[in-house]
A and B are shown apart, each in its own frame.
Chain A
Amino acid sequence: MQHLYDLLIAPFVDFAFMRRALAGCLALSLGSGPIGLFLVMRRMSLMGDAMSHAVLPGAAVGFMLAGLSLPAMSLGGFFAGVLVAVLAGLATRFSSIKEDASFAAFYLLSLAIGVLLVSKSGSNVDLMHILFGSVLAVDDAALYLVSGVASVTLICLAFIYRPMLLESLDPVFLRAVGARGGLWHMAFLMLVVLNLVSGFQALGTLMAVGLMMLPAITARLWSESVEGMLVMAVSVAFVSGMAGLLLSYHFELPSGPAIILVAGLFYLFSLLFAPAGGALPRYIRARHFES
C-alpha cells in the first residue's frame, strides 16, 4: 500500500507544482475533450492541428512585444487563430474552395509568418518553449487562464450544442427551418482557438492538439451516444494527464509528450479492443438475436 501511495499520490501531496499541473490537466481535459469530440464528429479532426499552427505568429508577436508573458502571448495567439478561422471561413463562403482546403492555405501562411517572426526575434530556446510548453511550470496566472477557458467552453457548448450537432447532421434542414448554421460554426471555431491557446502554455502549441484529439477519437471507439462519448473523452484526457505527469515525475521525462503518449496508448488499445468500433470485437462476435 505504502508503495502505491508513493507511486501515485505522494508526488501530488509533496509538491505544489505537481498539484498545479494536475489541476491544469483537469481543466484542460474538461475544455479540450468535448471540443475535440465535436471536431471528430464534424469530420474536422485535422482542423485542430491546422489551427494550432495558425496560433503561432500571434504568440510570436506577443513574445516580441512583452517577452515570455502569458497574457500577451495568449492574446496574440487567440487573435491570430481567430483571424485565420475568419479568413478561411470567408474564403469558403465566397469562393468555390472547400473548408479544409481554405484552412490549409491560411494556416500555412500563418505558420510561415510565425516561424519568420520567432527566428528574427528570439533564440531557439524560446521557440522550443512556444512549441512545447511545460505543464510543470504552470503558474497561478496560467491556471486561471486554463480553468477560465474550460468554464467558458462548457457553458458555450451547452448553449450551442443542439444547433451545432444539427448543423453537422443535417445542414439543409437547419437552413430550411431558418436557423443560421454558419453562426454556430463560427462560435465553435472560436472555442477551438480558445482551447488551443489555453493548452499551449501547459503543453505547447503542438501538444495541445494531442490532448484535444486523441481522447476524443478514443471516445468514438467506446460509445455510440454523444453523452457517452463526452464522458469518455474527458475521462481519457484527465487520466492521461495524471498518468503522464506521474511518468514524467518518476522517470524525469518531459511532461507534454509523456501526457500525449499515454493518451496515444489509450487510443492504440481502444483501436484493438474497444466495443463500439475496435478491430478485434468485429471478429469475436456474440451469437446474434432471433430478430
Chain B
Amino acid sequence: MTVILDNLTVSYQRHPAVHHVSGSFVAGDATAIFGPNGAGKSTLLKAMIGALTPDSGQARLDGFARQDIAYLPQQSEIDRSLPVSVLDLVATGLWHRTGPFGKVGRAGLGQAMDALEQVGLADFAPRAISALSSGQFQRVLFARILLQDARLILLDEPFTAMDAKTTFDLLELVRRWKEEGRTIIAVLHDYEQVRAYFPHTLLLAREVVAWGRTEQVLTDANLKRAVDTAAHWQDRAAVCRVDGVNV
C-alpha cells in the first residue's frame, strides 16, 4: 500500500502547474500539502484521482482500488441548488457498494444516519442541501467520507472558511482516521493545523520544495523559497527538457 508520485508533470496550456514531482506519501499516516496559491496543490490531488491526465510521469496508488479512495473537492464544484436531501447526499458514499443501480436499503440509510450523527447533524437528515450553511455542508461531506470507509482520503482545502468549532470537530475526525491507520493527504493553508495534526508535509511550489517530517519541512527558509518559486512565472518560458520528456 503505497502512494507514489513518479516524475509527475501536469500542465494547463503547456504551463506546468505540477512540475516533475517525485516522492512517496507515508501510508497509514497524515500528510499535509502546503504551499502558496497557484502552487499546484489541487492539481496534484486531481491528477492522483485521475481527473487530470499528466503530461508525463504518473501517480501510482499501489494497493488501493477505486473504492478505497475518498476525495473531497473544493466546495465550489458542487451544485447545491439541486433538490437533494442531506441524507441522500450522504448515502451516495455507499456508491462502491450500490453502484449506479443497487439498492441503498434500510441498513444503508441507517449507516448514513449514523455518519450524520458523528458529524453532529442528525437533525438535518431530511433537509435540502441548499438550506445548509457552508460549514454544515462541509460536515455533511465529511459524513459521506465516513460512509465511504476509504483507506486513502484526499481532502482539498477542507477547512477554508470554516469556523473554529467546525474546523476542530473535523480535525478530530482526521485524527481518528489516522489512528485507524488510514492514509490522509490534505491540502491546507493553516500552519498551526498542519503542525498539530499532520506529522508529514509536502511543501509544494509547482516543484517539491521540501517533503518529510513537518517540523523539518516548515522552516522559514523553505517557506520563503516556496513563495519565491510560485511568484515566478514566465509567459515565454523555454520548453522544458528535464529527462528528455518534451524533446
Contacts and interface: CB of A to CB of B under 8 A. Distances in A.
A170 B89 CA distance: 10
Interface in A165-189: 165-166, 168-173, 175-179, 184
Contacts of B101: 159, 162
A225 interface: yes
Interface string B43-82: 0000001110000000000000011011101000111001
B132 interface: no
Nearest to B144: A173
Contacts of A159: 100-101
B66 A169 contact: no
Contacts of A172: 51, 71, 73, 77-78
B92 interface: yes
A166 B71 contact: no
A11 interface: no
B82 A175 contact: no
A229 interface: yes
Contacts of B197: none
Nearest to B102: A162
Interface in B91-111: 92, 95-96, 99-101
Interface in A120-169: 159-160, 162-163, 165-166, 168-169
Contact of A175 (B51, B89, B96): B51
B85 interface: yes
A165 to B, nearest CB: 7
Contacts of B69: 176
Contact of A176 (B49, B83, B99, B128): B49
B128 A170 contact: no
Contacts of A166: 92, 95
Interface centre among B69, B92, B128 (most CB of A within 10 A): B92
Nearest to A158: B101
A173 B92 contact: yes
A224 interface: yes
A166 B99 CA distance: 12
Nearest to B104: A162
A229 to B, nearest CB: 7
Contacts of B231: none
A226 interface: yes
Contacts of B49: 175-176
A113 interface: no
Interface residues of B, number: 24
A224 B78 contact: no
B79 A169 contact: yes
A248 interface: no
Identify whether the interface residues of A are mostly helix, strand, loop, or mixed. helix
A41 interface: yes
Interface residues of A, number: 24
A171 B78 CA distance: 8
B162 interface: no
A173 B73 contact: yes
Contact of A163 (B82, B84, B96, B100): B100
A162 B98 CA distance: 10
B100 A169 contact: no
A223 interface: yes
A168 B78 CA distance: 8
Nearest to B154: A176
B11 to A, nearest CB: 14
Interface in B133-152: none
Given A159-B101, A163-B100, A224-B128, A177 B82 contact: no
A225 B82 CA distance: 9
A224 B83 contact: yes
B83 A226 contact: yes
Contact of A160 (B82, B95, B100, B128): B100
A107 B101 CA distance: 33
A179 B66 CA distance: 10
A175 B79 CA distance: 15
Given A165-B84, A169-B84, A175-B50, 20 more contacts: A159-B101, A163-B100, A166-B92, A168-B79, A168-B82, A169-B78, A169-B89, A170-B78, A171-B77, A172-B71, A172-B73, A173-B78, A173-B92, A175-B51, A176-B69, A176-B71, A177-B96, A178-B67, A224-B83, A226-B83
13 contacts: A159-B100, A162-B101, A166-B92, A168-B82, A172-B71, A172-B73, A172-B78, A176-B49, A176-B70, A177-B95, A179-B100, A224-B83, A226-B84
Interface of A: 41, 159-160, 162-163, 165-166, 168-173, 175-179, 184, 223-226, 229
Interface of B: 49-51, 66-67, 69-71, 73, 77-79, 82-85, 89, 92, 95-96, 99-101, 128
5 closest Cβ contacts across the A-B interface? A178-B66, A176-B71, A163-B100, A172-B73, A177-B95
